[in-house]
Chains A and B, each alone.
Chain A
Amino acid sequence: MKKIILLLVILLSGSLVACSSNDDWDSSKNITLYTRDTSSGTRAGFMEGIGFSDAAEDNSLLAEGYVIKDNTGILTSMKTDEYGIGYISLASLNENVKGLQFDGVDPTIANVVNNTYGLKRPFNYVIRSLDDFANETEKNITLAFVAFLHTSDGADIITNEGAIPLTSNSTWDDIKGNYEVCNQDNSAVTIKFGGSDSIEKIALALTEAFAPKCGNFTPEHDHTGSSDGFKRTQGSEKDGVNYKHVGFASRPFKDTETGSEGTQGQLAWDAIVAIVHLNNEVTNVTAEDLKKIYSGEYATWEQLIG
């Protein structure tokens, strides 16, 4: 019994120390930079958006003492670090951190859709070369899926998942006549989707909604990263055990990832938000501010506030 009490005491004191943090925010403190790694599509989009594209793939241009984290890591760090600044995908923004206005515009879906919010990156897709499908059915379903991506029905799903679709005027009802394959029973056909895991949720929602429209084919999702998107459809692993029919990339395709004509395209935009701790007094930044912060010209918050 004594031991249990002792244990509780240790536990309690431990958690007390963990919770005790005071609320005054001191602008004379240094800014701690948080960034994604150099292969991240979010980073490329962010750096381009703030006019600092050189730093997209070169860490040495960033101010000293930066921390490299993934999307979730930056989000959780901004809950703790009162003097940090980072950037995340808009879909991840929650009430535990403060999303900064960019050039005076609030980071909301509405503002991205009406094109006033400027920080964003593309979501892309790539399919197998048209002469490289195992059979006509698989090819036609894949083509029908790509067509569906560009309908307003596809756009609705993308919006629902927090990304921003490209504008489209036709509905699936308008064009489904062109896709004879969707009238037959495809339940024995498996179409494989892969590539970027940032796009996994959107892709999953799209295929779940599209499968019943196209003969109930079986979509199989295996998302392992943007570079696998091209590699497993048209690149070195296209005939390997993990081949895919459709791949996604949450960044622009690299020069080495140029596929055959008519097999690549964009399906959506993803907005990027600069975030800080809730205690932070700053509410708005400009592209130039962010560039000065990330290049180290502004070392403390004071310098930004002025």
Chain B
Amino acid sequence: MSNKRKKFDKLLQIITYASSSIGVLILSLIVIFVIKNGVGLINWDLITNDYHAQFYNGGIDEVTTFSNTSRPINLDDEDVYSEKWGIALRDGLDREGKPIVEVTYIAEDSPLNLMYDKNNLDNADFEIEVENVISSIKFDNKPSALSLYGAEYMINELDAENQFREIVFSSLGGGIRGSLITTLYTIGLTLIIALPIGIFSAIYLNEFAKKNFVTRVIRSMIEMLTGVPSIIFGLMGLAVFVPLTTRYTPADGANLLSGSLTLAVILLPIIIRSTEESLKVIPDDFRFASLALGANNSQTTFKVVLPSALPGILTATLLAIGRVIGESAALIFAIGTTIKDDISIFGKSTTLAVHIWSLLTDEPANIELASTISIIILIIVLVLNISVKLLSKKYLKRV
């Protein structure tokens, strides 16, 4: 082997290594980018909490005795305490990055414990608690103290009065539990629909179809699907699948099922292409051997061809899951942008990507939470990826 040849080989090697490191580089840059923006918000509560806050309107009868608990020593400097009302408040940020006022302490003898539920006078359990969020305190004779102006303002306004009309407080919302569950449902439903159709089509095209004009047309029709922008898929889903599902299921309007059907169409060409490529790998000898042993075509397909094509199908599945998780434009129309906490496959809901989309189209956009959700998406994909691989390893060994 000539020296020149060696050098040239080395060069090509280096180029190959460099090219593959670009993928790693891009992924690391994106990961660094989302972590830099989104790591601050990541915690377990975000994942397990509801999105919608429950609001309460507390009214109070004339107050005769005020609190006389002095400021507890365990309060931080940021806590603003009202001795008169026996309540400590603190400025914070909610999950959308908006300033809020949190309750951090309520004294035993606070008159606020006497508040009643203005919306349901029979509610005996009504009470304001630590970790609640106060959005406003309303008075009869002056403008309300809003959380926008901060905890200190709120306490000062409250201290100046002996009476208030209403305190509006709520639980802390903004969790993504609903969107997370929806995403998993959507992945499952979409794969159940798309995988069989896609794999069967690929088998038909590769194993049974004659190489003629009709097959070529069918193939290019399927390939053309890959070029359709997601937004068009979405509008198609809205025009075709949404009415279809509302007619035959209890659904009322866009729903998880119509969204999954739309996604399934998007996935078909990916699954077909990838499955076909792996079917091509299988040597014809296998097929002939199987047929020679007396198996018929469908037996050969299911027992010989399909198992050998499994790695390709797995790649297709993973690509498909990736696409489902990442898709937003199509789903905006086919599932809608309603962020929900109770998930039903016949109801509206959002996947994580649509959740991100809706955070980013807000004014102001919430880039931090969007990044946090991206981190979660990446983690889900990684976990699914690894588990599918482990499963396939087990399965492939058996074959």
B-binding residues in A (CB < 8 A): 3, 6-7, 10-11, 14, 70-72, 75, 88-89, 91-94, 109, 152-153, 156-157, 159-160, 162, 171, 173, 197-198, 200-201, 208-209, 211-213, 216, 220-224, 241-243
Within the complex, the shortest CB–CB distance from A128 to chain B, in Å, comes to 15
Assembly CA distance A78 to B383 (angstroms): 38
Given contacts A208-B55, A212-B56, contact A241 B246 (CB under 8 A): yes
The answer to whether A71 and B338 have CB atoms under 8 Å apart is: no
Contacts of A197 in B (CB 8 A): 337, 358, 361-362
Contacts of A223 in B (CB 8 A): 337, 358
Within the complex, the shortest CB–CB distance from A221 to chain B, in Å, comes to 6
Assembly CA distance A75 to B56 (angstroms): 35
- Could you list some 23 contacts between A and B, CB below 8 A? A7-B25, A7-B28, A72-B365, A72-B367, A89-B363, A91-B363, A91-B364, A94-B364, A153-B166, A156-B135, A171-B138, A171-B165, A198-B362, A200-B358, A201-B96, A208-B173, A216-B119, A220-B338, A220-B348, A222-B336, A241-B242, A241-B246, A241-B254
The answer to whether A71 and B364 have CB atoms under 8 Å apart is: yes
Assembly CA distance A166 to B54 (angstroms): 26
**Docked complex: B40-67 residues within 8 A CB-CB of A:** 52-57
Contacts of A242 in B (CB 8 A): 238, 242, 253-254, 336
The answer to whether B168 and A92 have CB atoms under 8 Å apart is: no
Number of residue pairs spanning A and B whose beta carbons lie under 8 angstroms apart:
119
Report B323-343 CB contacts with A as 1/0, cut-off 8 Å: 000000000110011110000
The answer to whether A3 and B147 have CB atoms under 8 Å apart is: no
A-binding residues in B (CB < 8 A): 17, 21, 24-25, 28-29, 52-57, 96, 118-119, 135-136, 138, 144, 146-148, 165-166, 168, 170, 173, 238, 242-243, 246, 252-254, 332-333, 336-339, 348, 358, 360-365, 367
Contacts of B138 in A (CB 8 A): 152-153, 156, 171
The answer to whether A222 and B363 have CB atoms under 8 Å apart is: no
Given contacts A173-B166, A241-B238, 14 further A-B contacts (CB under 8 A): A6-B21, A71-B363, A88-B363, A91-B363, A152-B144, A153-B138, A156-B136, A160-B135, A160-B136, A209-B170, A220-B338, A221-B337, A222-B348, A242-B254
Within the complex, the shortest CB–CB distance from A259 to chain B, in Å, comes to 21
The answer to whether A211 and B55 have CB atoms under 8 Å apart is: yes
Contacts of A162 in B (CB 8 A): 148
The answer to whether A7 and B243 have CB atoms under 8 Å apart is: no
The answer to whether B363 and A198 have CB atoms under 8 Å apart is: yes
Assembly CA distance A64 to B119 (angstroms): 58
Residue of A nearest to B144 (CB): A156
The answer to whether B17 and A213 have CB atoms under 8 Å apart is: no
Contacts of B364 in A (CB 8 A): 71-72, 75, 89, 91-94
The answer to whether A200 and B29 have CB atoms under 8 Å apart is: no
The answer to whether A221 and B363 have CB atoms under 8 Å apart is: no
Given contacts A71-B364, A72-B365, A241-B242, contact A208 B337 (CB under 8 A): no
Contacts of B243 in A (CB 8 A): 241
Of A7, A171, A201, which contacts B362 at CB under 8 A? A201
Assembly CA distance A241 to B244 (angstroms): 11
Assembly CA distance A38 to B144 (angstroms): 38
Contacts of B24 in A (CB 8 A): 7
Within the complex, the shortest CB–CB distance from A246 to chain B, in Å, comes to 14
Contacts of B365 in A (CB 8 A): 71-72, 75, 92
Assembly CA distance A221 to B17 (angstroms): 50
Contacts of A212 in B (CB 8 A): 54-57, 119
Within the complex, the shortest CB–CB distance from B357 to chain A, in Å, comes to 10
Residue of A nearest to B140 (CB): A171
Interface of A is mostly: helix
Residue of A nearest to B117 (CB): A212
The answer to whether B28 and A160 have CB atoms under 8 Å apart is: no
Residue of B nearest to A163 (CB): B363
The answer to whether B28 and A11 have CB atoms under 8 Å apart is: yes
Assembly CA distance A200 to B148 (angstroms): 18
Most buried by A among B238, B348, B361: B361
Assembly CA distance A71 to B367 (angstroms): 13
Assembly CA distance A208 to B254 (angstroms): 22
The answer to whether B119 and A213 have CB atoms under 8 Å apart is: yes
Which 7 pairs from chain A and chain B are nearest by CB?
A92-B364, A72-B365, A222-B336, A222-B338, A89-B363, A156-B144, A241-B253
Residue of B nearest to A193 (CB): B338
Of B339, B360, B367, which contacts A221 at CB under 8 A? B339
Residue of B nearest to A215 (CB): B119
The answer to whether A209 and B168 have CB atoms under 8 Å apart is: yes
Given contacts A7-B21, A173-B165, A241-B243, contact A159 B146 (CB under 8 A): yes
Contacts of B170 in A (CB 8 A): 208-209
Most buried by B among A89, A109, A208: A208
Given contacts A171-B165, A212-B119, contact A156 B254 (CB under 8 A): no
Within the complex, the shortest CB–CB distance from A141 to chain B, in Å, comes to 14
Of B25, B332, B363, which contacts A10 at CB under 8 A? B25
Assembly CA distance A3 to B243 (angstroms): 54
The answer to whether B338 and A221 have CB atoms under 8 Å apart is: yes
Most buried by B among A197, A212, A224, A243: A212
Contacts of B53 in A (CB 8 A): 208
Contacts of A157 in B (CB 8 A): 135-136
Contacts of B367 in A (CB 8 A): 72
Within the complex, the shortest CB–CB distance from B100 to chain A, in Å, comes to 9
Contacts of A171 in B (CB 8 A): 138, 165
Residue of A nearest to B53 (CB): A208
Assembly CA distance A242 to B165 (angstroms): 39
Given contacts A91-B364, A153-B138, A197-B358, contact A224 B21 (CB under 8 A): no
Assembly CA distance A156 to B337 (angstroms): 26
Assembly CA distance A8 to B339 (angstroms): 40
Assembly CA distance A197 to B54 (angstroms): 22
Contacts of B17 in A (CB 8 A): 3
Contacts of B165 in A (CB 8 A): 171, 173
